[in-house]
């Protein structure tokens, strides 16, 4: 079987599909998987174990044999819990082959091979009967098939099928039930991830205000879930308009229906305000009594209980189709609609009659009609709405633009061309090549320009930089080349260096005295101790007394696959860390020149100045727009005494996890970490190596 892996090429800015051979063993999937994080989730594991023990006891007390079905066994953990709790037999189903193989090894190593049968199938393919995968139906159903949205990994259809075909009626289910909670809030910060706020520009001839077209104002956006570490959102960034209410529950011990449906609750606003966002999370009652409860509630809901950090389950942010003013005490109705895999929300002011309200509940999942939500993802909306950032670009454009400037912008979905026009450039063009997921960005831009009476002012060139022709530029040479730079295919910070490649490709069109904005970029690096993020890549050893080292080894092998240990992108505003070294500039990229043929490398050492565990290095880019004006896509601020870092909230930074952690203690003779970093100009990738 051939496997194709998609990856953006940072030198061309486009997606390439690489064919992987027979030996492709899903290393990326394993290396970046959430298994380690789940194994480190003590709260989850201990509660599942408790629930499984109780379920096995209940079945035994009835004088029955305990036959367990564990759907999605992963490492085999929940089956091993059941077996050691006294279950007579466990069927452990796992669809992902490398994991099923690992489960076999782990089960054997822990001495449960006679009690646990690992079946490498999707649960809906499992057969029951004397010649089947399972001898008989199970009377205990154990699963952990939930994502942050609860149902996004297909838990509902899996349960529906299992109740019909794989388990007995009246079976015990661990967990027993799940409940989804919601809270209505107003939040300028989170709302800025969904819609474009007006952009104010002080121009020579007065203030200009850039507004979004009306289609964008009323667009429901995209259906994909917005899952974040809500515990990192300070309470000053939102205002709660309702209490926390139960939205819906699913009882896993009874037949489950996965067909689309909706749920509705009445809310009495505790405060007047603008309803924009529904925050949501869930909990599971592992046992029927509800005594063993595992909750994803954020910090302000249960301020006294200790929060378990986890990354495999977070909280959800849902955007209402449009902002609704609500009054304190004046009831509103919140509807949750769901299909098999996702949930979305609507708010109604009045309760219509049963028949009527069926029509008014929007049962269709949100579909972006304005195309802006296809062009800009949520962090990108946030970035474009960041007024401080916009001011830096305006200030620098003002420095470099002249009335006779011929300006070309190379960046995806950028507002820079409009800013350049407002600030007086004579001729403005921007390159917006079509993308697979967004044909004809042209149409979106036309709507945008129309709303701002800019129809003939800015020209969109739907070509790729290497295909730029003099006619695109009305036979003029470019005097100002601008970019943010930002490209939708970029995964790691340095992938936006595609701007440099594009600049190189359009070289022949540049005037001899061209100004390039940004004039340069630099790569910065800092050694950090993570508060929690280290867990996702750290070996677990034993989990609830079971030896899971096989899993640790498997993750380690995958990380070292082809000896290409790589940095990975993480939005660090969600993952607090402490700096252990000074931030250091390690490489610079001169955009006034073309991309050189040779690689750019550097070596050096960085001193550990603070006591702590060195989990890894964080890397980010800074762009030098014009003299004295820079923007950082990484570190924004560093508090010196404790080393707490503030990160750009709209960007992902690169994290390179060290394979071994060192603890720095002494400050008088600081330990040094040596590094070697290489930017390969042929591939656009950065390779790095650290020695502790």
Q: Are 619 and 653 in contact (CB under 8 A)?
A: yes
- Which tokens belong to 332? 């509103």
Which of these, 289, 285, 280, lies nearest to 246 by C-alpha position? 280
Residue that the structure tokens 């401080």 belong to: 388
Rounded distance between C-alpha atoms, residue 197 and residue 212, angstroms: 7
Q: Which helix (H) or strand (E) holds 458?
A: strand 458-461
**CB within 8 A of 604, min separation 6: which ones?**
584, 586, 674, 675
- Residue 434 sits at φ, ψ, to 5 deg, of -60, 155
Q: Are 499 and 516 in contact (CB under 8 A)?
A: no
Interacting residues with ligand SAH (CB under 6 A): 38, 71-75, 77-78, 93-96, 99, 122-123, 144-145, 153-154, 158
**Helix, strand, coil share (%) of the chain residues, nearest 5:** 25, 35, 40
Would you please indicate which residues are annotated as catalytic (active-site) residues? 144, 153
Respond yes or no on whether the N-terminal peptide bond of residue 175 is cis (omega within 30° of 0): yes
Residue nearest to ligand SAH (CB): 72
| Cβ neighbours of 644 (radius 10 Å) | 14
Rounded to whole angstroms, what are the CA distances from 12 to 15, 95, 380, 404, 644? 8, 36, 21, 31, 37
DSSP per residue, 199-210: EEEEETTEEEEE
**CB within 8 A of 75, min separation 6: which ones?**
35, 39, 99, 102, 103, 106, 543, 548, 550, 551
Residue that the structure tokens 């002080």 belong to: 202
Three-state secondary-structure class, residue 267: strand
Respond yes or no on whether the N-terminal peptide bond of residue 104 is cis (omega within 30° of 0): no
The β-bridge partners of 585 are 524
**CB within 8 A of 393, min separation 6: which ones?**
416, 419, 484, 625, 631
Count of alpha carbons within 13 angstroms of residue 495, beta-carbon side: 23
Which of these, 491, 533, 527, lies nearest to 605 by C-alpha position? 527
Rounded distance between C-alpha atoms, residue 282 and residue 476, angstroms: 59
């Amino acid at each position: 079987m051939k496997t194709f892996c998609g990856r953006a090429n940072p030198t061309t800015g486009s997606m390439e599909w690489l064919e992987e051979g027979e030996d492709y063993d899903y290393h990326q999937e394993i290396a970046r998987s959430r298994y380690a994080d789940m194994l480190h989730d003590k709260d989850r594991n201990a509660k599942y174990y408790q629930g499984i023990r109780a379920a096995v006891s209940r079945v035994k007390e009835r004088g029955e044999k305990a036959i367990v079905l564990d759907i999605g066994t992963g490492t085999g953990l929940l089956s091993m819990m059941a077996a050691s709790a006294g279950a007579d037999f466990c069927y452990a189903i796992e669809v992902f082959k490398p994991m099923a193989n690992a489960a076999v090894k782990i089960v054997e190593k822990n001495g449960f091979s006679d009690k646990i049968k690992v079946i490498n199938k999707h649960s809906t393919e499992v057969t029951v009967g004397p010649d089947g995968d399972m001898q008989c139906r199970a009377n205990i159903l154990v699963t952990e098939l939930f994502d942050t949205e609860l149902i996004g990994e297909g838990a509902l259809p899996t349960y529906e099928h299992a109740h019909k075909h794989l388990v007995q009626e009246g079976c015990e289910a661990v967990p027993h039930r799940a409940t989804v909670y919601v809270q209505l809030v107003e939040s300028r910060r989170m709302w800025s991830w969904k819609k474009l706020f007006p952009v104010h520009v002080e121009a020579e001839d007065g203030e200009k205000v850039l507004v979004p077209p009306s289609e964008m104002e009323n667009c429901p956006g995209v259906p994909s879930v917005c899952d974040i570490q809500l515990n990192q959102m300070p309470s000053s960034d939102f205002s709660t308009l309702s209490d926390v209410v139960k939205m819906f529950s699913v009882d896993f011990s009874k037949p489950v229906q996965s067909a689309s449906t909706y749920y509705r609750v009445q809310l009495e606003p505790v405060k007047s305000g603008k309803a924009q966002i529904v925050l949501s999370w869930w909990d599971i009652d592992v046992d029927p009594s509800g005594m063993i409860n595992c909750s994803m509630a954020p910090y302000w809901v249960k301020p006294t209980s200790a929060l378990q950090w986890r990354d495999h389950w977070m909280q959800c942010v849902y955007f209402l189709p449009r902002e609704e003013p609500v009054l304190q005490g004046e009831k509103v109705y919140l509807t949750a609609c769901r299909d098999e895999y996702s949930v979305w929300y609507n708010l109604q002011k009045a309760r219509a009659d049963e028949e009527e309200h069926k029509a008014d509940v929007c049962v269709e999942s949100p579909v972006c009609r304005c195309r802006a939500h296809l062009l800009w993802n949520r962090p990108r909306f946030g970035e474009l709405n960041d007024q401080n950032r916009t001011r830096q670009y305006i200030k620098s454009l003002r420095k470099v633009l002249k009335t006779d400037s011929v300006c070309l912008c190379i960046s995806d979905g950028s507002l820079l061309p409009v800013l350049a026009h407002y600030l007086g450039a004579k001729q403005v063009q921007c390159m917006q090549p079509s993308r697979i997921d967004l044909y004809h960005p042209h149409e979106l831009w036309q709507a945008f320009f129309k709303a701002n009476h800019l129809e003939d002012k800015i020209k969109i060139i739907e070509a790729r930089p290497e295909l730029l022709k003099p006619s695109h530029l009305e036979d003029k040479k470019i005097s100002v080349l601008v970019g943010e730079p930002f490209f939708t295919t970029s995964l790691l910070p340095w992938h936006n260096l595609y701007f440099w490649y594009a600049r190189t490709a359009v070289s022949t069109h540049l005037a001899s005295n061209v100004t390039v904005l940004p004039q340069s970029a630099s790569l910065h690096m800092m050694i950090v101790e993570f508060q929690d993020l280290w867990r996702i890549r750290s070996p677990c050893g034993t989990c609830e007394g079971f030896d899971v080292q096989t899993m640790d080894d498997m993750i380690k092998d995958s990380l070292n696959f082809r000896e290409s240990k790589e940095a990975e992108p993480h939005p660090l505003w969600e993952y607090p860390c402490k700096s252990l070294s000074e931030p250091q500039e390690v490489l610079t990229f001169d955009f006034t020149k073309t991309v050189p043929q040779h690689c750019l490398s550097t070596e050096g050492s960085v001193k550990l100045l603070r006591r702590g565990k060195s989990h890894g290095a964080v890397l980010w880019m800074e762009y030098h727009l014009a003299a004295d004006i820079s923007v950082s896509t990484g570190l924004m601020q560093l508090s010196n005494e404790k080393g707490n870092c503030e990160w750009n909230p709209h960007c992902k930074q690169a994290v390179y996890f060290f394979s071994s952690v060192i603890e720095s203690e002494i400050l008088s003779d600081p330990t040094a970490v040596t590094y070697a970093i290489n930017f390969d100009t042929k591939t656009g990738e950065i390779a790095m190596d650290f020695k502790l």
